[in-house]
Amino acid sequence: MCTKVLAALLICLFPLCGMCGIYGYVDNQGVYHFTNIKPTRKGYQVVVADRPKMVSAKSISNVNNDRYDSLIFQHAFNHGVDPSLVKAVMKAESNFNPQAVSQKGAQGLMQLMPDTARLMSVQDPFDPDDNIRGGAKYLSLLDQTFQGNLELILAAYNAGPNRVREHKMNVPPIEETRNYVRRVKDYYNKLKNPNER
Using the predicted structure, report yes or no on whether residue 142 has a pLDDT greater than 70. yes
Q: 3-7, 23-27, 65-69, 115-119: which range is least confident on average?
A: 3-7
Kindly state whether residues 9 and 87 are assigned to the same domain: no
How high is the pLDDT of residue 48? 54
Same domain? For 31 and 79 the reply is no
User: Taking a C-beta distance cutoff of 8 angstroms, is the pair 76, 86 a contact?
Assistant: yes
Give yes or no: residues 40 and 133 share one domain.
no
- Domain count along the chain: 2
User: Higher pLDDT residue, 128 or 51?
Assistant: 128
Q: CA 156 to CA 150: how far, in whole Å?
A: 10
For residues 151 and 11, give the distance between their C-alpha atoms in angstroms, rounded to a whole number: 46
Long-range contacts of 128-131 (CB under 8 A, 24+ apart): 128/68, 128/71, 128/98, 129/71, 131/98, 131/107
In this structure, are 67 and 88 located in the same domain? yes
Active site residues: 93
Q: Is the pLDDT of residue 79 over 60?
A: yes
**Tens of pLDDT, residues 145-181:** 999 999 999 999 999 999 999 999 999 999 999 999 9
Judgement on whether residues 40 and 84 belong to the same structural domain of the protein: no
Question: What CATH number is attached to the domain comprising 132?
Answer: 1.10.530.10
Q: Is residue 197 part of a domain?
A: no
Residue range 112-127: mean pLDDT, rounded:
96
- Tell me: do 25 and 63 sit in the same domain: no
CA atoms of 136 and 140, how far apart (whole Å):
6
Structural domain includes residue 125: yes
Domain, as residue range, for 33: 3-48
Same domain, 39 and 70: no
Average pLDDT over residues 104-111: 95
Q: How far apart are CA 141 and CA 160, in angstroms?
A: 12
Task: Give the mean pLDDT of the chain.
Answer: 81
